[in-house]
Amino acid sequence: MSRLVIVSNRVTVPEPGHPPPPGGLAVAVHAALKSRPGLWFGWSGKIDDGPAVEPQTVERDNVTYVVTDLSTGDYNEYYTGFANRVLWPILHYRVDLAEFNRSDLGGYLRVNALFADHLAKLLKPDDVIWVHDYHLMPLARELRSRGFNNPIGFFLHIPCPPADLLFTIPKQEQTIGALSHYDLVGFQTENDRNNYGRYLAMSGGHQGRDGTSYAVDGRVVRIGAFPVGIETADLAAVAAETVDSGFTRELRDSLQGRKLVVGVDRLDYSKGIVHRVEGYRHFLEHEANWRNRVTYLQVTPKSRSEIPEYGDMSDDVNRLVSEVNGQFGEAAWTPIRYINRSYPREALAGVFRIAAAALVTPLRDGMNLVAKEYVASQDPADPGVLLLSQFAGAAAELDAALIVNPHETEGMAQALRTALEMPLDERQARFASMFERISRQDIDRWAETFLAKLSETRRSFLIGQLR
């Protein structure tokens, strides 16, 4: 079996004997590496301005981790600057928040070239290479220019907006356009895939007869939708166990019989937390009989705090949460518990299990695995209800959720009431339909499907070249 070489921006090496760190990308990559020899290369998460040193290698649980530090300049220009202040907002449909300058783009291209230089020393001719996320769009071009002829695939974990928005990225041909140097590019949804197909067509690419491949400047790239999943069976078992843990019991006792509503998101403007809290405020304003009978727990670890748009958003959420608590709270009831920290996967599974409803209402999201994790964690005999934004990739699969438009405050408030008052048989039917779907399309299936398509794509390309 060929070795699988995964490349992503951030690599978190698990502590010996501990499960992999939480986070959609990390969990997905570990699943892909579970059943084959593998290497995972990327940034260590550390900044070091000393003399250049070779990347560090750590062996753990049959995976070779190779990590490199970044200099302050690389971190500022590549990660904070171009990846997170240009690509992130534009791919999340927020051109208004993008802050472009040429030196950040230069840093982005420079770090991609640096990653290719490091990889060139690690790669073997029969390795299969799988690159993840928007930080590394030009990496295949860099590797091909260094003579590597391996199969190279790319998966975009975040949304791909319509072509007109992609064209707003300055020098787009060097970043989003450079995806055409991969053999296979995977997206979360058919909608994302179609948006990129249209972009390729508008950039002079020719669609092949199969409808999935495009000829661009003498190269062929195939594009497809591969909705990312979770470890459904495993998480369901963890949730059933954790429900009796001290942590979950303490939380349940603290509710004093009130229903729990939960939200779990990184502190990011794409997650729609302000809109969500507005929806909850409207609910408390107009459904007076629910006051003091429900507690909303919002778990929100801070993220990318050095970026001004994130700081502004954090201030907005703090202000709004304290307004709602001030307006409706009582001596013995806090309407919103707002927490800026993360919890381990096991603890969250217990929280999800006892929550009557989950609010997963991003303004835009590639997939949103919290939606799937909430469903997987439910008690089939007495499941909670998922409120899911129509703008999360997960909505294409989880159509038995209560689908909401996060821009419509009244609609969100109404859906919350529907969720809290939903009869048991309807909750069970909705849960069963969603659970069946996430069990079938789990994380192993996602990795297998993508990698099978990548091998097939490279093979047919090489045969085509011989003809």
User: Binding to ligand F6P by residue 158, rule CB under 6 A?
Assistant: yes
Q: What are phi and psi of 126, to 5 degrees?
A: -100, 15
Identity of the residue, 271 or 458, whose beta carbon is nearer to ligand F6P in the bound complex = 271
Min dist. Cβ of residue 370 to ligand F6P (A) = 12
Distance of closest approach, residue 235 Cβ to ligand F6P, in angstroms: 19
Q: Is 25 in the site for ligand F6P (CB under 6 A)?
A: yes
Nearer CB in complex with ligand F6P: 10/417: 10
CB 355 within 8 A of CB 243: no
Residue 24 within binding range of ligand F6P, rule CB under 6 A: yes
Contact positions with ligand F6P (CB under 6 A) in 226-245:
none
Which contiguous run of DSSP H or E holds residue 447?
helix 443-466
The helix or strand, by DSSP H or E, that contains position 7, with its residue range, turns out to be: strand 4-10
> Among 34, 94, 259, 304, which residue interacts with ligand F6P (rule: CB under 6 A)?
304
CB of 363 to ligand F6P, least distance (A): 15
Q: How far is the CB of 22 from ligand F6P (least distance, A)?
A: 10
Binding status of residue 151 toward ligand F6P by CB under 6 A: no
> What is the longest distance spanned by two Cα atoms in the chain?
78
- Residue 453 Cα to chain centre, angstroms: 22
Of 22-30, 249-257, 337-345, 432-440, the segment contacting ligand F6P by CB under 6 A is 22-30
Q: What angle do CA 177, 179, 183 make, to 5 degrees?
A: 140
Three-state DSSP class for residue 245: coil
Say how far apart CA 274 and CA 36 lie, in whole Å: 43
Give the binding range for ligand F6P (CB under 6 A) out of 20-28, 123-131, 376-384, 437-445. 20-28
> Does 303 interact with ligand F6P (rule: CB under 6 A)?
yes
**Out of 14, 21, 22, 23, which residue is the one contacting ligand F6P (CB under 6 A)?**
23
The residues carrying an active-site annotation are: 157, 365
Residue 289 CB, shortest distance to ligand F6P, in Å, is 39
Q: Which segment (21-29, 232-240, 278-286, 376-384) binds ligand F6P by CB under 6 A?
A: 21-29
Please give the angle made by the CA atoms of 16, 18 and 19, to the nearest 5 degrees: 130
Binding mask 110-139 for ligand F6P (x = CB under 6 A): -----------------------x------
> Is residue 313 close enough to count as binding ligand F6P by CB under 6 A?
no
Q: Whole-number minimum distance, CB 314 to ligand F6P, in Å?
A: 15
273-286 helix and 308-328 helix, angle to the nearest 10 degrees:
10
- The residues, ordered by sequence, that sit 6+ positions from 7 with a Cβ below 8 Å of its Cβ are 40, 41, 42, 115, 119, 129, 130, 131, 132, 136, 139
**Residue the block writes with tokens 């609609």:** 411
Q: 305 by DSSP, 3-state: which? A: coil
- Is residue 302 near ligand F6P by the rule CB under 6 A? no
CB 447 within 8 A of CB 144: no
298 burial via Cβ count (<10 Å: 0-12, 13-18, 19+) = buried
* Rounded least distance, CB 287 to ligand F6P, Å: 35
Nearer to ligand F6P, 136 or 262 (CB): 136
Among 10, 144, 337, 445, binds ligand F6P (CB under 6 A): 10
User: 328: which 2 tokens?
Assistant: 């409706």
184 near ligand F6P, judged by CB under 6 A: no
For ligand F6P, the binding residues in 262-301 under the rule CB under 6 A are: none
340 binds ligand F6P (CB under 6 A): no
Asked if 157 is part of the footprint of ligand F6P (rule: CB under 6 A), the reply reads yes
Q: Counting contacts by CB under 6 A, is residue 76 touching ligand F6P?
A: no
Burial of 259-280, coded b for 16+ CB within 10 Å and e otherwise, reads bbbbbbbbbbbbbbbbbbbbbb
Residue 11 binds ligand F6P, judged by CB under 6 A: no
Instruction: List C-alpha distances in Å: 393 to 22, 291, 297.
Output: 20, 32, 23
The helix (H) or strand (E) run that includes residue 262 is: strand 259-264
Give the shortest CB-133-to-ligand F6P separation in angstroms.
4
Q: Choose the binding region for ligand F6P from 23-31, 143-151, 213-221, 458-466 (rule: CB under 6 A).
A: 23-31
Tell me if 330 sits within 8 A of 294, measured CB to CB: no
Binding site for ligand F6P (CB under 6 A): 9-10, 23-25, 133, 157-158, 303-304
